[in-house]
Amino acid sequence: MPADTRKTRVEVEGRELTLSNLDKVLFPEAGYTKGEVIDYYTRIAPVLLPHLTDRPVTRIRFPNGVDDKSFFEKNAPASTPDWVRLETLPVPGSSKGRETIAYVVADDLPTLVWLANLAALELHTPQWKIGRHPDMLVVDLDPGAPAGLAECCAVALLMRDRLADDGLDSYPKTSGKKGMQLCCPIAGNQDADLVSGYAHRIAAELERAHPKLIVSKMAKNLRPGKVFIDWSQNNAAKTTVAPYSLRAQPTPSVSTPLTWAEVEAGTDRRRRSLRHCTPDEVLERVDEHGDLLAPLLTPGPKLPIG
């Protein structure tokens, strides 16, 4: 294409951005372009941005699409506009020996559009806000084939009921890939080690009660046919895909908030009523339900530990 047609100047909430290669296909199997990625993130922003606010965002970028190479990016790239919010923070468990990183914080629509233009398809955040202890407990439900979403739904219900015994409300979402996540708002006054230890204890308890369905140990050879409850998501160094984030699958899918009625129906393998949603489906769901994960934005109870 001629150079002058590859770039488009736009104004987003008073910020000027240059968008490039909007017709570049990032999901080849679906023919889904960068322009469509930017459009999705712009339209989903009212419910996505509250879940990103005050959290450093790790991006997974696919500059040449999901069939090509990708890379994780925590630090702000050299070309970051001066209006993008940056926070210099310690790096828990850095494998590169870095003590701090200048993280991007996606608090507003211009920053979200800028990230989408960089082909930052996936957005991941920690369970804590900047300068605070975790305000969410998250468990990842990872099925080992031939287990799938139906088994994840069954485990999610067991986990929901067990957490409720301790006064915790949990909210489900698909991962957008294989499994699901459960998120619980917590008080935000206990450190990550305590939260992770609590999640580990509950996962091990459920494994003992349902050994044919659940595994809580990390070893991958134990997972076939079972659902691994990944309690380690609560480690301070871990991040979880944000609700409403795209996932880099052959066709675009989204980490989608669910109702408990959908989870209950999803336990029936024969019906296969639960699947990973497309961006258009998620936008329709938000029109219908609003943000099913809005309760996560309000602090919950203190965990019954320590």
pLDDT tens, position by position, 83-101: 999 999 987 655 555 689 9
pLDDT value, residue 98: 66
pLDDT value, residue 99: 86
pLDDT value, residue 86: 98
Pairwise CA distance, residues 26 & 37, whole Å: 8
pLDDT value, residue 279: 98
pLDDT value, residue 229: 98
In the chain the domains, ranked by start, together with CATH numbers, are 3-125 (3.90.920.10), 136-297 (3.30.70.3300)
pLDDT value, residue 96: 56
pLDDT of the chain, 306 residues: tens digit per residue: 444 458 999 999 999 999 999 999 999 999 999 999 999 999 999 999 999 999 999 999 999 999 999 999 999 999 999 999 999 998 765 555 568 999 999 999 999 999 999 999 999 999 999 999 999 999 999 999 999 999 999 999 999 999 999 999 999 999 999 999 999 999 999 999 999 999 999 999 999 999 999 999 988 898 999 999 999 999 999 999 999 999 999 999 999 999 999 999 999 877 777 889 999 999 999 999 999 999 999 999 999 975
- Give Dmax (Cα) for the chain: 64
Nearest to 173 by CA among 65, 282, 67, 64: 282
pLDDT value, residue 273: 74
* Residues of the chain above pLDDT 90, percent: 90
pLDDT value, residue 91: 79
- State yes or no: cis peptide before 146, omega within 30 of 0: yes
- pTM of the predicted protein model: 0.95
Pairwise CA distance, residues 237 & 235, whole Å: 5
Residue 27: phi and psi, rounded to 5, are -120, 85
pLDDT value, residue 220: 87
pLDDT value, residue 92: 65
Instruction: Give the pair of three-digit tokens for residue 136.
Output: 């969410």
